[in-house]
């Protein structure tokens, strides 16, 4: 008999002491399983059925009308059932009221610390009695160890995968009714008890008769649709009251509607199976990511059959590499394809026994359209680069602020909110801290959380919460930004290219420091299991140069390559002028009584020369003085421009030496043939640009 060992409903785990042959050795065909074994052998009581079973009574027509979320239909149904509505309101008010009263008595009798664990356990029991809607809210909260006291965290975490199952006899009858055949015609073997249970259903291990594959069979709890419908109706009403009483800017009822829609989709197992197949197609090919196969032909609205997955919860194994894999996969979900897992609590993320990250439970998914994806990327880009004026515009685009907002006031407020958060560097930016800091000014700015964004926030915040559980210093935004930087540099989206152009050219001045930051961050976007740490400096430079060239010479790097060629041509032109000035100066010093000549270089030429030097250092993989960015400040020209001559001479002598540029040449044989060919074409392209620039300048100086 398969033991119920408190794994996640959707993880379908064996007991950690079992082996892969457990089912075949211990499970007989259903025909030979005694009827008594069909009843759950578990000491826990199904509190939801016991305390809230009165909600289950809906006619078949009423149940069918609630297949999709429709608040008007829900209201119409319970308008005809006023006593059930009143009974539910009384149940919610009395249970929470008693608990809050007990907490208040603890505080005035100074027993809060003593009773803390007891009250936490009582709260978990209350949520179990009230059912799925409240359990789902608690699951999201329990994924943030940085926000919840440990005692409450321990108790609420149990709601992720330690919920008493309902009757197995009811579950097996549901399977037969939904699939339209006796169970032994579909499965050659099935576990007599559920392997896991959660808020919406429970899971059995089985073997398909058709192909012999071991599968997980998820069966929906009776009554969840009726209970969730009524609770959402109540929560929607309460959200309206809270918004009016608290004068919130955000449309709380729209947020409830968004969450409710996703919850109703989660209750439809056919949609979940299709979501799983789509998720597998989009992300199943990512290295070390496992997405189980869905058997759509054996799936109905209330029964789901999918590939069996064995492993442990990611939060229990403390695998930092798989957390990074999860960050990369989440980046792809949110910002590449816009189809994302909106319920990534610890019970839905597993480390398989062969070291892969398994995603399961695809009932609650979200979609992020292209406009908002680009807007989110731009907001991250502007936040990291402290361009708060552009960030204010991004917030309007994303729907966080109304178009009529005072842009200057918003920019000033955002600067005050985020300045300190980003001052420590992108790798130290906490998503939770950003939300917390922003919350203090939300009301003043008329800031609102768009309904579509509530699931995005949940997805990102939960992922960071899982990582914080075993690495308190983990920052999900810091880990995601390298992938954002790479996307900004390579994406063909006109909106992102325009943003990149605006970011790199501030008031017409090329910001080489920003390009360097993007390039260096994009090179961190990798998820290899083992990175060589003990490399010599020359090898480090060589690796960096190879990565930069491999990126800029590809089709995806064409836009950045165009910018680099343009700036290098400007730099070579300025370098030529500086060389001419230097030779002229040397000639004048060798001639007695010769008048000193002024520099022919302009302020723009000096800027181009500084940028050129910086580009050469970047491309050579070598950075002096620890690679601190050069500040591109405009200098005030002196009357005779001797200052330009002196600065040009200084920069001239600081250019990388031949030895420092060697890494560029030494990686040439290691590049793929197509990239070598592309690299060989660059000198001719560069020469053409340089000739055009020199010719245009000569014409201007001669004729204008």
Per-residue model confidence as pLDDT tens digits over 352-371 = 999 999 998 898 888 888 88
With cut-offs at 50, 70 and 90, classify the pLDDT of residue 13. Answer: very low
- Residue whose tokens read 């209750």: 267
Q: How much is the average pLDDT of 14-30?
A: 38
Q: What is the pLDDT of residues 233-244, one digit of tens each?
A: 999 998 888 877
- CA pair distance 116, 103, nearest whole angstrom: 9
- Structure pTM? 0.72
For the chain, give the mean pLDDT. 76
Q: Strand locations in 179-236, DSSP E? A: 187-190, 196-197, 201-208, 214-220
Q: Residue 202 gets which letter from DSSP? A: E
Radius of gyration, alpha carbons of the chain? 32
Q: Please, are residues 368 and 498 in contact by the beta-carbon 8 Å criterion?
A: no
SS3 letters for 342-409? CCCCHHHEEEECCCCEEECCCCCEEECCHHHHHHHHHHHHHHHCCCHHHHHHHHHHCCCCCCCCCHHH
Q: Position of tokens 């197609």?
A: 281
State phi, psi for 365 to the nearest 5 degrees: -120, 155
Under the banding of pLDDT at 50, 70 and 90, the label for residue 699 is confident
| Measured distance CA(393)–CA(378) in Å, rounded | 10
Percent of the chain with pLDDT strictly greater than 70: 73
**C-alpha angle 205-209-215 in degrees, rounded to nearest 5:** 25
Cα four-point dihedral sign 75, 78, 79, 82: negative
Q: How far apart are CA 164 and CA 286, in angstroms?
A: 35
Give the pLDDT score at 660. Answer: 58
Contact status, residue 323 vs residue 288, Cβ threshold 8 Å: no
The whole-angstrom separation of Cα 433 and Cα 383 is 14
Secondary structure (3-state) at 540: helix
In this predicted structure, the answer to whether residue 543 has a pLDDT above a threshold of 60 is yes
Q: Which residue has the tokens 């994406």?
A: 491
Least Cα distance to 447 among 410, 393, 421 occurs for 410
The answer to whether the beta carbons of residues 196 and 202 sit under 8 Å apart is yes
Q: What is the DSSP letter of 211?
A: T
What backbone phi and psi angles, to 5 degrees, belong to 26? Answer: -115, -15
Q: What is the mean pLDDT of residues 490-508?
A: 83
* Token pair for 312: 């442990």
Active site residues: 343
Domains and CATH numbers, the chain: 47-160 (no CATH), 167-220+268-308 (3.30.200), 314-491 (no CATH), 559-586+600-621+644-703 (no CATH)
Among 216, 227, 226, 362, CA closest to 303: 216
Residue 507 has pLDDT above 50, yes or no: yes
End-to-end CA distance of the chain: 94
């Amino acid at each position: 008999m398969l033991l119920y060992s408190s794994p996640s409903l959707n993880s379908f785990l064996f007991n950690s002491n079992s082996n892969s042959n457990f089912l075949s050795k211990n499970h007989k065909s259903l025909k030979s399983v005694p009827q008594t074994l069909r009843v759950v052998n578990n000491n826990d009581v199904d509190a939801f059925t016991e305390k809230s079973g009165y909600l289950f009574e809906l006619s078949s027509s009423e149940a069918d009308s609630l297949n999709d979320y429709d608040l008007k239909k829900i209201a119409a149904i319970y308008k005809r059932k006023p006593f059930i509505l009143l009974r539910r309101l009384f149940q919610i008010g009395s249970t929470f009221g008693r608990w809050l009263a007990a907490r208040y008595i603890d505080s005035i009798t100074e027993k809060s610390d003593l009773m803390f664990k007891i009250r936490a356990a009582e709260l978990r029991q209350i949520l179990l009695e009230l059912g799925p809607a409240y359990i789902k809210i608690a699951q999201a909260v329990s994924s943030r160890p940085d926000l919840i006291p440990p005692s409450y965290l321990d108790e609420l975490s149990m709601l992720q995968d330690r919920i008493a199952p309902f009757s197995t006899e009811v579950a097996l009858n549901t399977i037969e009714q939904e699939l339209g055949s006796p169970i032994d015609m579909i499965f050659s073997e099935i576990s007599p008890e559920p392997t896991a249970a959660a808020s919406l259903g429970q899971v059995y291990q089985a073997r398909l008769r058709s192909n012999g594959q071991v599968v997980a069979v998820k069966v929906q709890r009776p009554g969840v649709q009726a209970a969730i419908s009524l609770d959402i109706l109540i929560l929607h009403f309460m959200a309206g009251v809270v918004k009016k009483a608290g004068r919130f800017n955000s449309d709380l009822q729209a947020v409830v509607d968004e969450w409710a829609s996703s919850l109703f989709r989660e209750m439809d197992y056919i949609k979940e199976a299709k979501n799983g197949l789509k998720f597998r197609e989009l992300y199943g090919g990512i290295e070390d990511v496992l997405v189980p196969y869905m058997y759509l032909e054996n799936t109905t609205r209330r029964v789901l059959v999918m590939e069996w997955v064995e492993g442990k919860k990611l939060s229990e194994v403390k695998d930092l590499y798989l957390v990074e894999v999860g960050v990369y996969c989440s980046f792809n979900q949110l910002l590449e394809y816009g189809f994302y897992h909106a319920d990534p609590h610890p019970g839905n993320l597993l480390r398989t026994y062969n070291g892969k990250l398994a995603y399961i439970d695809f009932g609650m998914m979200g979609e992020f359209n292209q406009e908002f994806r680009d807007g989110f990327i731009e907001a991250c880009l502007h936040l990291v680069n402290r361009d708060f004026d552009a960030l204010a515009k991004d917030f309007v685009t994303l729907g966080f602020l109304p178009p009529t907002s005072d842009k200057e006031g918003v920019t000033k407020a955002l600067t005050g909110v985020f300045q300190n958060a980003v001052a420590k560097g992108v790798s130290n930016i906490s998503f939770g801290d950003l939300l917390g800091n922003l919350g203090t000014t939300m009301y003043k700015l008329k800031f609102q959380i768009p309904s579509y964004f509530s699931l995005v926030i949940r997805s990102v915040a939960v992922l960071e919460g899982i990582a914080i559980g075993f690495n308190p210093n983990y920052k999900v935004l810091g880990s995601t930004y390298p992938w954002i930087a790479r996307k900004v540099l390579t994406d063909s989206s006109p909106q992102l290219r325009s943003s990149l152009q605006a970011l790199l050219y501030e008031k017409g001045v090329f910001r080489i420091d920003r390009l360097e930051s993007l390039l260096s961050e994009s090179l961190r976007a990798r998820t290899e299991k083992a990175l060589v740490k003990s490399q010599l400096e020359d090898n480090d430079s060589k690796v960096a140069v190879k990565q930069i060239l491999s990126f800029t010479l590809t089709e995806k790097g064409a836009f950045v390559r165009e910018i680099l060629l343009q700036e290098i041509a400007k730099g070579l032109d300025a370098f030529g002028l500086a060389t001419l000035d230097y030779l002229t100066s040397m000639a004048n010093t060798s001639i007695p009584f010769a008048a000193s000549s002024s520099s022919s270089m302009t302020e723009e030429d000096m800027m181009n020369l500084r940028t050129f030097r910086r580009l050469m250092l970047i491309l050579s993989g070598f950075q002096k003085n620890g690679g601190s960015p050069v500040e591109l400040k405009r200098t005030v020209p002196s009357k005779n421009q001797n200052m330009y001559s002196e600065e040009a001479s200084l920069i001239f002598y600081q250019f990388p030496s031949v030895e420092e540029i060697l890494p560029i040449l030494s990686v040439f044989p290691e590049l793929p043939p197509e990239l070598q060919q592309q690299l060989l074409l660059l000198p001719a392209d560069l020469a053409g640009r340089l000739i055009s620039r020199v010719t245009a300048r000569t014409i201007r100086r001669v004729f204008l």
